[in-house]
Amino acid sequence: MAISIGSTYMEYNNALADTSKVNADKLSTSINRINSETTDEELMEACKGFEQYFIEQVMKEFTKSIEEFEDNKYMNVFGDTLISEYADKVSDSGNLGIAQMLYDSMKNNVQNKIQ
């Protein structure tokens, strides 16, 4: 049985596209579940998820502007995974601060609605 590299590559790209949509759907679901009963930990996790997704999208757009990435067959195959890992590391470092700012803002909004 022969394996077609072209079809395997297409299947991999389709799986990556599906993964990106699943991640966006998970993020949307977690954000939509936030209410006055949400714990601080759940709220922070949703904010970190948003920050990671945001960083990943920015990095994906950035790599589109670099010719070296377009011509590199490894980046074409594994680039999304690499970008996802980089985004995860940047978000986990906490240096960007988007998750914390979002958390503070959302926490303040929830408390104001309770009062």
Q: Where are the domains of the chain?
A: 41-115
Q: What tokens appear for 60 in the block?
A: 């994906």
pLDDT per residue over 64-85, tens digit each?
887 776 677 777 778 888 888 9
Q: What is the DSSP string of 44-61?
A: HHHHHHHHHHHHHHHHHH
Computed over every residue of the chain, the mean pLDDT equals 77
Q: Is the pTM of this model over 0.85?
A: no
The per-residue pLDDT for range 22-48, each reduced to its tens digit, is 667 776 776 667 766 778 888 888 899
Rounded Cα gap, residues 68 and 29, in angstroms: 36
